[in-house]
Chain A
Amino acid sequence: MTTYTATAVDFIQWRAKARQLLRAQVAPSAVSWADAAQASLFSGATDDLPVSHADAANTVTISKELISMLEVAACFRSSSQADVWALMYRLVWRYAFEGRALLHLQTDPDVKRLRAMCQSVRRDMHKMKAFVRFRRVAYSPPSLEVAEAVATYSSQTEESVPLDSDSIYIAWFEPEHRIVKALASFFRGRFSGMRWSILTLDDCVHWNGEQLRFSEGVAVPPATNDEMESLWSTYYCNIFNPARLKEKAMQSEMPKKYWQHLPESIHISDLCRSASAKTISMLQHSLTDPNRLRKKSQALKQAQDLLRNK
């Protein structure tokens, strides 16, 4: 039995290879997947794929639900990317033969694994949308830090002037999975009128008001700071109600691993420690007479009458 090898670095490549293999009706056990990023380090391993048969009878339709789940699962950061590709191909193959019922099998190990990976990636995506924090840096002329941070970002001709033409907003983030490319369109849709860059260890994405560009990851966060962060911290500390301390609830939604990205997090321990003292002082504070102002104006009026009658 001939075994084929296939390499892929992202979902798009995997999908192309998987299509070819599926059309040639190659069983999952007959394919050996490899991570293209890894493979290039060792041997110049190339694909060994069957000749494509442009055979209409062999086309297989995969449900949108499965495709979107696979696209999400492809972002999963695994110790063995090859296993992930193999799992995905196995599921596609089984779907072709078992139909829609496949995804409803609650106990099947492959399906369980796929669902778990999707859940983890989706949660990571939601957290990245929430916790990416931009810092404003003056853009023209670009300072050294900015130039270093967006090293491969070359300014093309910018026909339309973005909203904030003299600044660039730079963020550093460490997502758990490789989700930067998947989230690029979300950030573009939200921050269309300003120049921004999100830098991570795996990939960087840049928007100049016209085009999204991707570049290699950077190893170190850029040295930037932003005065608005102190205003944000002021807001954070004052919107907190010390009479309702619930640290566990906060930590379950905002795990400590994200605190490095959030400038307000340095105040959390102080807020927690002083919460009960503040509550007690509010409870013991002397009460204000509700007619205080009325009495004050009455007293003023009496004093004025006295003066007039003198």
Chain B
Amino acid sequence: MELSEKLAILADAAKYDASCASSGTESRQALTDKSLGSTGGMGICHSYTPDGRCISLLKLLLTNFCLYECSYCVNRASSQVPRAAFSVDEVVNLTLDFYKRNYIEGLFLSSGIIQSADYTMDKVMQVAKKLRLEHGFKGYIHLKTIPEASPELLAEAGLYADRLSINIELPSDTSLKQLAPEKSVLRIEGAMSHLKDTIDGHKLERKTEKKRYGRVKTPLFSPAGQSTQMIIGADTSNDHLILQKADQLYRQYRMRRVYYSAFSPIPDASAALPPTAPPLLREHRLYQADWLLRFYSFSIDEVTSNRANGMLDLSVDPKLAWALSHREHFPVDLNRADYEHILRVPGIGVATAKRLIRMRRQQRLRWQDLCRLRIDRKKVQQFVCVADHSPLSLGESSEQLKQRFLKPAEQQMALF
């Protein structure tokens, strides 16, 4: 099979992995040994596809042959999609050729399971090893790890990769058993725990060495940490359950990111899981809720409170939904309230809240200052108090207030 045909098949098979970050790792560059590659700072998106997603890393499957039968996956054993397999050298050369032309920041490599978990993991690790040791590649490498593989292989993979990830796929154990019979939640979370321990162990070693000897001998292990992905809409789990799972993963395994991937129609779907239009708006709300949990000190109950079926409101963002159902906390006096309360105001984000705190040290905040900071006036006016502005009428019911935030088409829908 021609290289371009393989590339078409194996890029097509890799598109359902949402992760594309190329940031969060150590700063390094190739000048010291005249090799290739640099990382550090913000990631760079070298291109954008018409789905609005950025192309930062070369996202490939080593092969899309697979022994497993996961109902949601385009590469499952019973699927009739065309199959292909790269050799280790082909992936290495493709990565280097694309990198030299500044198309990519690095490589994101996954694989279907062939022969055995160990065999596949070893092949995936060989690619990263060759790039790092033979070619001195200093760009970004993200490896998908197979939880069933032996710990020694995982231990070596982390020495070459900037980030390792294992997909949790589904938020509940029962749905995973039903839709992915070869996978086990115990093994997946066990591997995540093991990764966390290894990452922490290396960090601690390096810290103590630096302190004691001034130089560091222990190598870095997956400096950008680990991440994971959940499929939304493939099972009956509600948003509350999904967010609970994400929260547990963040706390217990120190995940850097949990990605939510709307269950998308695939070229050859299984009868066990018929395709539907991807729930993109639901995915969007979940990301917004995820941000609230991580950066706005919301608790899960607050985010999904007042929702009878545990599903987020699709018509407004979760922060506004919370504000509308907790009017007793508003209006917030921006000149007096503390940081956490200011963060709760719809229309004020982390950066703006910090700026407001800095500004009010020198002057009393007025309505003009909010406009200058480019805060959405329409959103904020009913929820804040400043020196020369108070909400117009506190008597307005939450339903009426909500109407004002909906777009005209949604307002029509809400009436019926």
Contacts and interface: CB of A to CB of B under 8 A. Distances in A.
Interface stretch (A33-41, A88-96, A267-275): A267-275
Given A129-B44, A133-B102, A192-B30, A290 B270 contact: yes
Nearest to A107: B372
Contacts of A292: 78, 80
A238 B46 contact: no
Given A132-B102, A239-B11, A287-B274, A250 B52 contact: yes
Contact of B278 (A244, A271, A272): A244
B405 interface: no
Interface in A223-258: 226, 228, 230-232, 234-250, 253-254
Interface in B280-335: 280
A235 to B, nearest CB: 5
A266 to B, nearest CB: 13
A291 interface: yes
Contact of A282 (B53, B98, B267): B267
A130 B77 CA distance: 38
B265 A283 contact: yes
Contacts of A228: 97-98, 101
Contacts of A44: none
Contact residues of A: prevailing secondary structure: helix
B269 interface: yes
B377 interface: no
A84 interface: no
B369 A287 contact: no
Contact of A254 (B11, B47, B100): B47
Contacts of B38: 186, 189-190
A247 B50 CA distance: 5
A133 B47 CA distance: 11
A243 to B, nearest CB: 5
Nearest to B70: A290
Nearest to B181: A290
Interface stretch (B1-9, B164-172, B186-194, B222-230): B1-9
A194 B101 CA distance: 11
Interface in A174-229: 186, 188-194, 209, 226, 228
Given A129-B44, A247-B50, A234 B272 contact: no
Interface residues of B, number: 71
Contacts of B362: 101, 104
Interface residues of A, number: 69
Most chain B beta-carbon contacts within 10 A, residue among A136, A162, A230, A253: A253
A106 interface: yes
A153 interface: no
A246 B45 contact: no
B15 A238 contact: yes
A293 interface: yes
B37 A190 contact: yes
B357 to A, nearest CB: 13
Contacts of A279: 265, 277
Contacts of A189: 29-31, 38
Given A253-B45, A279-B265, A192 B35 contact: yes
Interface stretch (A21-29, A45-53, A65-73, A163-171): A163-171
A67 B369 CA distance: 27
B264 A244 contact: yes
A250 B44 CA distance: 15
Contacts of A133: 101-103
Given A133-B101, A290-B71, A192 B46 contact: no
A289 B271 contact: yes
Given A106-B359, A190-B29, A282 B37 contact: no
Contact residues of B: prevailing secondary structure: loop
Interface in B185-241: none
A236 B53 CA distance: 11
Contacts of A101: 362
Contacts of B71: 290
A212 to B, nearest CB: 11
B48 interface: yes
B178 to A, nearest CB: 12
B79 A192 contact: no
A226 B48 contact: no
B36 A194 contact: yes
B34 interface: yes
Contacts of A107: 372
Nearest to A240: B49
Contacts of B29: 189-190, 192
A308 interface: no
A262 interface: yes
Most chain A beta-carbon contacts within 10 A, residue among B15, B29, B49, B52: B49
Contacts of B349: none
A128 to B, nearest CB: 10
A287 B264 contact: no
Contacts of A130: 44-47
B362 to A, nearest CB: 7
Contact of B7 (A129, A235, A250, A291): A235
B401 interface: no
B265 to A, nearest CB: 4
Given A133-B101, A239-B15, A162 B50 contact: no
A264 B44 CA distance: 17
Most chain B beta-carbon contacts within 10 A, residue among A104, A244, A250, A254: A244
A159 to B, nearest CB: 11
B62 interface: no
Contacts of B98: 228, 232, 235
Contacts of B271: 287-290
Given A231-B97, A244-B280, 16 more contacts: A126-B44, A129-B44, A130-B46, A135-B101, A163-B34, A164-B100, A193-B35, A209-B34, A236-B55, A241-B15, A241-B264, A243-B264, A250-B49, A275-B50, A288-B79, A288-B268
13 contacts: A106-B369, A130-B45, A134-B101, A169-B101, A191-B36, A228-B98, A238-B12, A239-B55, A248-B52, A250-B48, A250-B51, A253-B48, A282-B266
Interface of B: 3-4, 7-9, 11-12, 14-16, 29-31, 33-38, 42, 44-55, 58-59, 69, 71, 76-80, 94, 97-98, 100-103, 136, 262, 264-272, 274-278, 280, 358-359, 362, 369, 372-373
Interface of A: 101, 104, 106-107, 126, 129-136, 160, 162-164, 169, 171, 186, 188-194, 209, 226, 228, 230-232, 234-250, 253-254, 262, 264, 268, 271-272, 275, 279, 282-283, 285, 287-293
- Which 3 pairs across A and B sit closest by C-beta, in order of nearness? A249-B52, A246-B52, A189-B29
